[in-house]
Amino acid sequence: MKKNHEIMIKIYRMLFNARVTLIQKMITIGAKTFVIGILCLLALTGMGQSFQIDTFLHHQIKEYHIPAVSVAVINNGAIVLTKTYGKADVEHNIPNTKSTAFQLASATKLVSAMAIMTLVQEGKLDLNERVKHYLSQAPQAWEDMKVIDLLSHQSGIVDLLGLQHDFTSSKAALDTAFATSLDFAPGTKTVYGGGDYAVVMMLVEKISGMPFQKFLGQTVLEKLGMNHSVYNNMEQDFIYRTYDAIPYVATVYKWDTETSKQRIFSMMFPSWTYSAGGLFSSIEDLSKWAIALDKNTLLKPETEEQMWTATKLRDGNTSPFGVGWIVDKYNGEKVTGHSGGPALADIVRLPGRKLTVIVLTNQLELRPFLAMKVLDLYLKNKK
């Protein structure tokens, strides 16, 4: 009887262990299935984001006759989406690639801002210091002008580009700014123009001891491996224009509605404006730049925050600009960025999320800015 009892106990134990093993296997299979399900869901979400953005951009390309578009979404230091469309050069049938460099125009200021803020971080430049502290030859009317007034378009300096003078050098442009009366008292209002950054460029060159192009190259472009970001050094003499031959640059086009044809358009950025415009850059390079912002590769978090903090006017009202960056709100959170061309380059960033959207095109006649819509589609499908 005792023996039979022991046998029964062994049988019960065997059955119990087998049941436990079966349950463990079921849990393992269930966990794996759950993980696979989550991965599939994430993949489908990513596909949904990519598909909707792709559909939107194809529609814009067709409607606005855009020869080439490059797009990237960078989030928390990683490229989550990057695509290229169309032809960089229609005439020679050259495809647009990730290394194709587009004219950034006024969006150049965002890359310049990173370089300028390295001087702030190193204690060589104080945004709240008077401009005359660095440029002692500036006129007395500039006594109350601060460095931040230049960078946020509230200096009152005349729009030098609007004068349409053919300045032969940066010094000639600066001398004209010194000799021309201010349009308004520094810090009293915001007016977007071409005079502020000409002075910024001279100020940076004096502090760094090198030409602006070299300074930008050493502080940002070379350190981040932005090998397809350049200026074309265009010069004009009477009817003659010369500029560097750059094989990977996208040609800018202007759609002619009367003939329904693309026409080649040439944008002339004098060298004295290079801190404000004229840089060519690729989607690959700008993605590296955005990743550097996310990872604080060159600038500390508190230094970056200064760039996209809206400046205060003297009366306490808020300016729409930080250090080169436009500052606004997007669904209640801070959004910042800049466009150029008017929409050859369009960059939008949500600094609180470390999320950047970059759209580059080569159609001058494009008016609706595309980056914000791409941001909408990305966030909509991320939920």
Quick check: 284 and 97 in contact, CB under 8 A? no
Q: Which of 61-65, 206-210, 236-240, 287-291 has the lowest mean pLDDT?
A: 236-240
Cis peptide before 211 (omega within 30 of 0): no
- In tens, the pLDDT along 78-115 reads 999 999 999 999 999 999 999 999 999 999 999 999 99
SS3 state of residue 236: strand
pLDDT attached to residue 3: 44
- Please give the average per-residue pLDDT across 201-228, as a whole number: 97
HEC per residue, 75-88 = ECCEEEEEEEEEEE
pLDDT over 70 at 38, yes or no: no
Facing residues of 80 across strands? none
- Please give the average per-residue pLDDT across 313-339, as a whole number: 97
The phi and psi torsions of 367 (rounded to 5 degrees) equal: -110, -45
- Please give the average per-residue pLDDT across 273-278, as a whole number: 97
Q: Which of 163-177, 184-198, 218-232 has the lowest mean pLDDT?
A: 163-177
| Alpha carbon 136 to its chain's center | 33
Average pLDDT taken over every residue of the chain: 89
Question: Interior CA angle at 373 toward 370 and 377, to 5°?
Answer: 135
pLDDT attached to residue 25: 47
SS3 state of residue 262: strand
pLDDT over 50 at 185, yes or no: yes
Quick check: 345 and 52 in contact, CB under 8 A? no
Residue with tokens 């695509």: 83
Question: Which domains does the chain carry?
Answer: 2-27+48-382 (3.40.710.10)
pLDDT attached to residue 168: 82
| Residue 91 CB contacts under 8 Å (≥ 6 apart), including other chains | 251, 264
Q: Which of 28-37, 187-196, 225-234 has the lowest mean pLDDT?
A: 28-37
**Distances, alpha carbon 50 to alpha carbons 16, 63, 348, 353, in Å:** 50, 20, 18, 19
pLDDT attached to residue 46: 54
Q: What is the pLDDT confidence band of residue 367, given thresholds at 50, 70 and 90?
A: confident
pLDDT attached to residue 312: 97
pTM: 0.87
pLDDT attached to residue 383: 64
pLDDT over 50 at 29, yes or no: no
Quick check: 278 and 269 in contact, CB under 8 A? yes
Neighbours of 70 (CB within 10 A): 30
How many Å apart are CA 85 and CA 66, to the nearest integer? Answer: 9
The kind and range of the H/E element at 178 are helix 170-179
pLDDT attached to residue 11: 40
Facing residues of 81 across strands? 73
| Residue 339 CB contacts under 8 Å (≥ 6 apart), including other chains | 106, 107, 345, 346, 347, 369, 371
pLDDT over 90 at 178, yes or no: yes
How many Å apart are CA 121 and CA 304, to the nearest integer? Answer: 10
Q: What is the pLDDT confidence band of residue 18, given thresholds at 50, 70 and 90?
A: very low
- In tens, the pLDDT along 135-172 reads 999 999 999 999 999 999 999 999 998 888 888 888 99
- Please give the average per-residue pLDDT across 185-210, as a whole number: 96
- Please give the average per-residue pLDDT across 362-378, as a whole number: 92
pLDDT over 60 at 272, yes or no: yes
pLDDT over 80 at 238, yes or no: yes
DSSP 123-177: TS--TTSBHHHH-TTS-GGGTT-BHHHHHTT-S----HHHHT---SSHHHHHHHH
Max Cα distance, the chain (Å): 118
Provide the 8-state DSSP code for 249.
B
Query: First CA to last CA across the chain, in angstroms?
Result: 66
- Please give the average per-residue pLDDT across 21-32, as a whole number: 45
- Please give the average per-residue pLDDT across 294-321, as a whole number: 98
| Alpha carbon 115 to its chain's center | 13
pLDDT attached to residue 382: 79
Hey, what long-range contacts does 212-221 have (CB within 8 A, 24 or more apart)?
Answer: 212/274, 212/275, 213/274, 215/115, 216/111, 216/112, 216/115, 216/274, 216/279, 219/114, 219/115, 219/118, 219/298, 220/111, 220/114, 220/115, 220/118, 220/289, 220/298, 221/285
Looking at the chain, the whole-number percentage of residues with pLDDT higher than 90 is 79
Lookup: tokens for 21: 């093993």
